[in-house]
């Protein structure tokens, strides 16, 4: 008998992609993705990047537990922040097999969105003084360009003509494989039926000529970059452990 499972997501575009992957893995395991009021199990894809996200996640765990749901937490979390709460915790990719199918490795749609987020990279190797991401996400791990292209082809064919390439540290794409973000843009940009291609946040230090050329030469690339500016003070940037100057 199938289990009705509701998925809750906190955090970034990468987490939103991983929640879509969860939904498809739930269905592949013979279960059903349902609304919260119809669920017997809740899977929370957590975020601990901000104090507010952690607080909201803890509050949600308590509310769902009071309603009698089995609460399962995965994603980005610290064990100590969830200690004593009525929830099972599992690291990413280690959820119980009765809930999800572990062999699902790509998405074929993006529920509730007109544009699809596609994760191309995971992990960060920065040493920023304020950031917990390297601890909960680990080292840089990039997908292969060919794998990303196949996923985008599937999304386009199923009705998602706009795609946002995203990652924990998107600018680090290819650091571990030798491929380059510029090559990814060029390959994905040639996919028939793709109308709009976007990038999520890019650190200013990683802009280079080949990246700008690839974006310029791609007819479906949206002429917009999200560049995080965290401070205009070199002193503050140095204290933060950032690798850029004002």
- Position 195 scores a pLDDT of 98
- Position 126 scores a pLDDT of 86
Give mean pLDDT, residues 225-238: 86
Q: Are 191 and 153 in contact (CB under 8 A)?
A: yes
Q: Does residue 52 carry a pLDDT above 80?
A: yes
* pLDDT one-digit tens code per residue, 184-220: 999 999 999 999 999 999 887 778 899 999 999 999 9
Q: Are 82 and 89 in contact (CB under 8 A)?
A: yes
Q: Measure the CA dihedral 99/7/26/111, to 10°.
A: 180
240 phi, psi to nearest 5 deg? -75, -15
Rounded Cα distance between 85 and 59, Å, is 10
What mean pLDDT is reported for the chain? Answer: 94
Give mean pLDDT, residues 59-73: 97
230 band by pLDDT with thresholds 50, 70 and 90: confident
Q: Does residue 4 carry a pLDDT above 90?
A: yes
Give mean pLDDT, residues 99-104: 96
Q: Does residue 244 carry a pLDDT above 80?
A: no
Rounded Cα distance between 195 and 83, Å, is 46
101 band by pLDDT with thresholds 50, 70 and 90: very high
- Position 238 scores a pLDDT of 87
- Position 229 scores a pLDDT of 80
170 band by pLDDT with thresholds 50, 70 and 90: very high
By the 10 Å C-beta count (0-12 exposed, 13-18 middle, 19+ buried), 181 is classed as: buried
* pLDDT one-digit tens code per residue, 139-161: 999 999 999 999 999 999 999 99
- Position 242 scores a pLDDT of 82
Q: Are 149 and 197 in contact (CB under 8 A)?
A: no
* pLDDT one-digit tens code per residue, 183-193: 999 999 999 99
Burial profile 221-240: b = 16 or more Cβ within 10 angstroms, e = fewer: beeeeeeeeeeeeeeebeeb
């Amino acid at each position: 008998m199938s289990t009705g499972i509701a998925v809750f997501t906190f955090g970034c575009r990468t987490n939103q992609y991983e929640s879509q992957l969860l939904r498809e893995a739930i269905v592949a395991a013979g279960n059903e993705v349902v609304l919260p009021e119809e669920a017997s199990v809740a899977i929370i894809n957590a975020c601990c990047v901000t104090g507010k996200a952690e607080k909201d996640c803890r509050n949600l765990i308590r509310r769902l537990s009071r309603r009698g749901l089995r609460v399962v937490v995965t994603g980005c979390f610290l064990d100590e922040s969830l200690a004593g709460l009525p929830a099972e915790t599992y690291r990413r990719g280690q959820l119980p097999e009765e809930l999800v199918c572990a062999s699902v490795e790509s998405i074929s749609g993006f529920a509730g969105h007109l544009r699809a987020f596609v994760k191309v990279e995971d992990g960060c190797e920065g040493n920023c003084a304020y950031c917990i991401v390297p601890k909960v996400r680990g080292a840089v791990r990039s997908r292969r360009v060919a794998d990303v292209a196949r996923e985008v082809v599937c999304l386009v064919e199923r009705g998602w003509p706009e795609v946002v390439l995203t990652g924990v540290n998107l600018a680090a794409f290819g650091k571990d494989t030798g491929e380059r973000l510029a090559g990814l843009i060029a390959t994905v940009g040639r996919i028939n039926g793709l109308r709009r291609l976007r990038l999520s946040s890019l650190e200013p230090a990683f802009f280079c000529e080949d990246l700008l050329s690839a974006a310029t030469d791609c007819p479906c690339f949206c002429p917009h970059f999200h560049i995080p500016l965290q401070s205009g003070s070199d002193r503050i940037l140095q204290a933060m452990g950032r690798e850029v100057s004002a």
